[in-house]
Amino acid sequence: MLNRLSREGPPLATLLHRVADTPPDFLAEPRIGSAGLIHVDAVVGDLLASFGADATAPELQRFADKGPAARNALSVTLLLCWVLAEPWFASASPGKTALLQLLGDSALELAAATPARKFVDDPDRREELVRVALAALGCRPAGESEAQAEDRLTSLSSAERARVIEAARAAELRARQIREALRKKAAEESADKWTRE
């Protein structure tokens, strides 16, 4: 992960405060079909344009015409757009590819583990959202070393926590299967020994 978070970004407190003060428009329901208010594809397009990057229709299509299952991911995308509207990001000149990755795949990963509203209401999830946004652009909060920033991001990661829990469940299931197989084998050997006597 060398140089992943090599660039110093804005102070963490500035971005945390920004997320805590997210305006209602960025918390409104994303437009899916005829339901919802906010056209997420238009918000993403406006954000990219503010960075001097023109998004193509296919690039923006991934933020529109989604089914109801995508509602939470689109809500997280809106929150990330609000974070990225912080003036510091415009001066950082993030690349279009990194922005689309963050607003698409990273938002989807965040949404898989956490309801969007929790990123505003819960201090740890708020910090996770900010750190994911910074990390996606190769940045860390001002005053932190790369190692500190990476460690904190990992410790806050809902997705990482879900992976660890799933791995622990899989290991426990495998251990249970092995114990059961050993018990069965011991019972068979005992029965076989009994029939020989």
- Domain residue extents for the chain: 7-156, 158-197
What's the mean pLDDT when you consider all of the chain? 85
Backbone angles phi, psi at 91, to 5 degrees: -75, -20
CA dihedral sign of residues 66, 136, 44, 125:
positive
User: What does the alpha-carbon distance between residue 31 and residue 169 come to, in Å, rounded to a whole number?
Assistant: 37
Which parts of 122-157 fold into alpha helices (H)? 123-136, 146-156
Statement: residue 111 has pLDDT above 70:
yes
Position 119 confidence tier, pLDDT thresholds 50, 70, 90? very high
Task: Report whether pLDDT(196) > 70.
Answer: no
- Residue, of 146 and 23, whose pLDDT is higher: 23
What is the average per-residue pLDDT within 142-169? Answer: 72
pLDDT at residue 3, as a whole number: 44
Overall average pLDDT of the 17-43 stretch: 92
Quick one: average pLDDT of 116-134? 94
The pLDDT of residue 181 is: 80
HSE-CB at 114 with a 13 A cutoff on CA atoms is 26
pLDDT at 2 over 60: no
Task: Answer for the pair 64, 116: CB distance below 8 angstroms, yes or no.
Answer: no
Instruction: For CA atoms 105, 66, 20, 82, give the dihedral sign.
Output: positive
Res 81: pLDDT: 96
Task: Enter the pTM of the model.
Answer: 0.76
Which pLDDT band, with edges at 50, 70 and 90, does 40 fall under?
very high
- Quick check: helix, strand or coil at residue 8? strand
% of the chain surpassing 70 pLDDT:
90
Percent with pLDDT over 90 in the chain: 45
